[in-house]
């Protein structure tokens, strides 16, 4: 996505379809539209894209900050707050993980290569479907129960990452250089965020397929609960 249009990689909607859901692409819109979006959809993916403007977490722009999209930032941060309030299922991916962290008062590393001493290339040059580094998952976490493992090899397509964790989030996945790679919220609501791009690994990775199936199932269950309320 950029200031001239909206772009969502086809891997997202293919992963949702494979998991039995119906994908709907929702572009940034005036904030009064959000209530209609909330009524329309049972669960929400916060997808990848531009950097989050550091003004939202109290920092000035680093020289390596990438492009930002002000309308998208305002829209998604407002949407996220309302999703959390209504306990709608959320699967936050890459930028989406960063958005939910900022929405909850956390901060980001604006540019890993220049700010963090790491031997890992987090912005890989190989095809996005290929894993390039491992992630260790906390054994007690919801994510570990979903993927049925405590280690997983993931792809990596980011230059920003969580620095200070947002309020209410638990860091449940880390790369070998200690970068936070996965978060979730305690409680009954499905709120899972991953720094990698599971949608692009779904065709050949059972663990990533389970993640999307769990999200779709959570959205369906939440819809039933709202109807019965």
> What positions carry a catalytic annotation?
94, 197, 199
Q: 15-32 burial, b if ≥16 CB within 10 A, otherwise e?
A: bbeebebeeeebebeeee
Structural contact between residues 2 and 69, judged by C-beta atoms closer than 8 angstroms: yes
Q: How far is CA 107 from each of CA 7, 45, 58, 162, rounded to the nearest angstrom?
A: 25, 21, 8, 6
* 142 torsion bin: left (phi>0), alpha (psi -120 to 50), beta (else): alpha
Neighbours of 213 (CB within 10 A): 18
């Amino acid at each position: 996505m950029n200031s001239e249009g909206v772009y969502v990689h086809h891997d997202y909607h293919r992963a949702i379809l494979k998991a039995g859901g119906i994908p709907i692409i929702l572009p940034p819109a005036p904030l009064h539209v959000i209530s209609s979006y909330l009524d329309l959809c049972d669960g929400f993916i916060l997808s990848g894209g531009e950097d989050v403007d550091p003004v939202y977490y109290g920092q000035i722009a680093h020289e390596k900050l990438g492009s930002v999209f002000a309308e998208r930032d305002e829209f998604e941060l407002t949407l996220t707050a309302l999703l959390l309030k209504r306990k709608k299922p959320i699967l936050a991916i890459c930028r989406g993980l960063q958005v939910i962290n900022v929405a909850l008062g956390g901060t980001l590393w604006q540019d890993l290569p220049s700010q963090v001493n790491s031997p890992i290339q987090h912005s890989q040059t190989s095809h996005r479907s290929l894993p390039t580094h491992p992630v260790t998952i906390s054994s007690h976490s919801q994510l570990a129960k979903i993927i049925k493992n405590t280690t997983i090899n993931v792809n990596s397509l980011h230059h920003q990452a969580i620095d200070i964790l947002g309020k209410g989030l638990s860091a449940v996945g880390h790369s070998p250089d200690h970068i936070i790679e996965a978060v979730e919220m305690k409680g009954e609501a499905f709120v899972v965020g991953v720094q990698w791009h599971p949608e692009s690994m779904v065709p050949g990775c059972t663990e990533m397929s389970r993640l999307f199936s769990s999200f779709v199932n959570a959205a369906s269950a939440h819809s039933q609960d709202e109807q019965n309320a």
